[in-house]
Structure 1
Amino acid sequence: MGYDVIITGGSYAGMSAGLQLARARRKVLVIDGGQRRNRFAATSHGFLGQDGRAPADIAEDARAQLMAYPTVEWVSDTVVQARKEEGGFTLETSRGQHFQAQRLLLATGVVDDLPAVQGLAERWGKSVFHCPYCHGYELDQGPIGVLATSPMSLHHALMLPDWGPTTFFTNGVFEPDPEQRASLELRGVTLEAEPVERIEGERANVVLEGGRVVAIDGLFVLPRTRVGSSLAASLGCEFEDGPLGAFIQTDMTRETSVPGVFACGDAAMPFGSVALSVGDGVRAGSGVHRSLIFGAH
């Protein structure tokens, strides 16, 4: 086999895993299509030592540190097919390249499926967010909106008042019961049942169907997520149903249900962030390394 490990996905989790393997002097190939999940955001927050930096700068520094190790190679491409064979795996990229490795680590991330509300997608990562820990502080306690996408949005609405006065736009998704209404009232959340027509303005002003405008500094929404590649499914990996979408099932070492295939980062967690992805990559990289020493696939 050409490599000890091929990592599909070179964002934070994939590079973090690669660093552990590089430091174990293993031959590693990273194949990455350049589609980081947080590419729409100007700054990243909540990651100790990197707070407030541009996501692209964090990734660029990480890649430079990883590529300083002589056993690491990088291919800018997307894996379109993976086959399990005797002794390992063969991967094919969109440009027709073929690579082989003993182990495969899936760090492909997820895709956010946003609600079909006019003006929302254009503001994603700028004034429309999903993580209050990542972006709530910078709103400086200004007015905040939460757009319901599922019953899980109730939890979102109950959290956000710690970052600013909150309006919960239920948008016909669900009707809070009396107990839920009492919880929202206790947290000082304003309920808005009129459907949302569009988002407009420099920030994220919410225009309701009747024409009324609710001015807010930031809108939070929980999009549905899906794993950003079909590789796990095509290899037969099992999935778990999370509150926002299915993710790849793994054990404590981050090995999937398919021997020799590992997964980490957003694709293998119900919720994600840069800091969580980096930590998960450490677990996965060390798990892959141990399997190369002690496992037999």
Structure 2
Amino acid sequence: MSLVMEPLGYGFMVRAIITTALAAIVCAVLSCWLVLIGWSLMGDAVSHAVLPGVVLAYIAGVPFTLGALVFALIAVTLIGVVRNTSRVKEDAAIGIVFSSLFALGLVLISVTPSQTDLNHIIFGNLLGVSVPDLIQVLVLGVVAFAILILKRRDLTLYAFDPTHAHAIGLSPKRLGALLLGLLALTSVVALQTVGVVLVVAMLIIPGATAYLLTDSFSRMLLIAPVISAVCSVTGIYLSYYLDTASGGMVVLAQSAVFAAVYLFSPRQGLIGTRLAMARRRKAALLAA
């Protein structure tokens, strides 16, 4: 119990745990749709493209969240424009836009005089989360989570069969735009915790892990946030006792769980499926 309670004696650790758990849950729920649709690279693009917005928000003296959200929406719009108005394919359009905007953010950081270390936006600053930061994450996270839950049936139909969605009166374009907007909002939520570089991991790994554990999408929506929340708390505790980067440990915890599932999942695991086949063969031989 002392190992569990000791970190909770510090206010900054409590704020870090709550903030990361909130961000992890929202990212994990969204990651289920991203994995199914194949938008993992889009999550990478949006998470990196918010950097110039953060720097410009600092220069203008407005909340970082506002600048990040604006540039996340700009990135999504630019990707759509390049893809729809040229011969460039979607993956190339994503790479062009996110690398260009990320480079712009790095340049702005290098030329902006600042008493605040803006590099924590890139690498995260979990242990420096303030009460206003926690409130921002809570509000944005609740909004994103509520929309995802309320529209889950429409978004799920769009992910599996956009043609059928159109046939029953839904607009695939609007649903896609809604999902991209939620991706932008969720990226801003996670930005407060693990930073730009590691946001993409929180937007992909939980959904991919749940995808290997079940064939039911409704179960994915339960498994992914539970795994992500547990990994986030575990990662923070490990970072406290090992004196390592908190954001990195959170992602490493998620990666370790994915690796275990990838190897030992009874249905999809590399080793688990072979062991199951061996047991079935042995049972067949004994029955014969």
Normalised by the shorter chain, which TM-score bucket? under 0.3
Q: Whose relative contact order is higher, 1 or 2, with alpha carbons under 8 Å and at least 6 apart?
A: 2
Which structure has greater helix proportion? 2
**TM-score (normalizing by structure 2):** 0.22
